[in-house]
Structure 1
Amino acid sequence: MLKFKEELIGNPIIAAVRNDEDLKLAALSRAVIVFVLYGDIMSITQICSRLRDNNKLAFVHVDLIDGLKGDLAGIRYIKQFAKPDGIISTKSSSIKYGNQLDLVTIQRVFILDSLSLKTGIKNIHENNPDALEVLPGIASRIIGDFEKKMKIPIIAGGLIKEKKDVMNCLSTGAIAISTTTRKLWDL
């Protein structure tokens, strides 16, 4: 976990990839950390291998992998065969299983209203992920609210399109940002 937090601090731009073209560009970019937001149980091992071959840290969003169930066996499969550096999930159970298997875990939380903020904080305290990804990342006040109540790194994601969005997120308490906007991967 300490290595992951140091990587976030030193490399706050995270490439989030949704297809093979994104993967190709992310592998060649300056981004060190890559969030894998696509794939299936047949391709995820190759995707993670390609990232490792390019000295990238790979985090698999297990909710988005076709053919994978986010139960203990599914998370164990990802760990054993894809060998990512960690997992991302919106599901409490996947985070718990990832923790049991000593994977770095990132809880992804969508903040839509005050109830989802309250529920998100409760889930973080119950699940003990290694980091939190808050979406939409452009909601800087919400990032500040989480940052005051959590002792884990906060990653902002979603709707981050410009350098000013990156700077705003980082200045309000996020330690890093994840983005599918390719032009930001080399900041």
Structure 2
Amino acid sequence: MLKGIIAALWNRKERPESVVPETVFFLNGGLFEIQERIDRFKAAGKKVFVDIDFVSGLSGDEDSVLYLKKSGVDGIITAKLRIFKQAVNAGMHQSLLRFFVLDSRAVEKGIQTIVSNGVRNIEILPGIVAAKVAPKIRVHAPETTIVAAGLIDSVEEIEMLKNHVDGVSTSSTALWTYRW
């Protein structure tokens, strides 16, 4: 599910038939239209993850997590550990905890968070640094699924990353047809 190329969708008008990857990340949206988008993509057989931090009308609380679960999403994406834990406890076990890799201290703290909280799925931003960071994470948490996201816009970058991560989330439609 979180393997290979993942379509990162910023365009709310994107149609399922134009999206090649089987898994999609909704990176924005609004409370009044998100359900219709989820339904459309689920009906097309897609796995749907919603970035709960960027859906207007949802706040970072348990009710928002439960709303998305009831809406049929396969998981959420969030940078907030508390929200991530709520999603996992609600049964959305494929949810991703997002890590921003700003410096070596952020990497150390990220690894500590993964290990101490048993985090199973993470997203690393910017994705291009995942080739450097993922091996360090794998030493401490070898079973963690790692998705690289952000600033990935070429086949060459995917080729470099695929030896280190499980998946790449990209909004570049030209990369959606890449065969992992």
Say whether the fold is shared (TM-score over 0.5): yes
1:27 deviates by 4.1
Alignment partner for residue 17 of structure 1, among 9, 29, 39? 9
Contact 2:78 2:84 in 1 (8 A): yes
CA distance in 2, matches of 1:33, 1:70: 23
Q: 5 Å matches for 1:22-61?
A: 23-24=14-15, 27-61=17-51
Matched, 1:101 2:95: no
Residue 177 of structure 1 corresponds to 168
Q: What code does the residue aligned with 2:102 have?
A: L
Residue 158 of structure 2 corresponds to 166
Give SS of 2:169's match.
Answer: strand
CA distance in 1, matches of 2:88, 2:69: 11
Choose between structure 1 and 2: higher helix proportion: 1
Structure 2, unaligned stretches of length 5 or more? none
Contact 1:13 1:176 in 2 (8 A): yes
Residue 135 of structure 2 corresponds to 144
Superposed CA deviations along residues 70-97 of structure 1, whole A, max 9, x for unmatched, are 21111011111x2101111100011110
Question: Normalising by structure 2, what TM-score?
Answer: 0.91
CA distance in 2, matches of 1:124, 1:57: 24
1:113 deviates by 0.3
Structure 1 residues 128 and 70: CA distance shift in structure 2, 3 A: farther
Alignment partner for residue 156 of structure 1, among 139, 144, 148? 148
Q: What code does the residue aligned with 1:102 have?
A: G
Alignment partner for residue 72 of structure 2, among 79, 83, 92? 83
CA distance in 2, matches of 1:42, 1:186: 31
Kindly tell me the number of residue pairs found equivalent between the two proteins. 175
Residue 3 of structure 1 corresponds to none
1:142 deviates by 1.1
Question: Normalising by structure 1, what TM-score?
Answer: 0.88
Structure 1, unaligned stretches of length 5 or more? 1-6
Structure 1 residues 72 and 49: CA distance shift in structure 2, 3 A: same
Percent sequence identity is 29
Structure 1 residues 127 and 46: CA distance shift in structure 2, 3 A: farther
CA distance in 1, matches of 2:155, 2:140: 27
Aligned Cα root-mean-square deviation (Å): 1.4
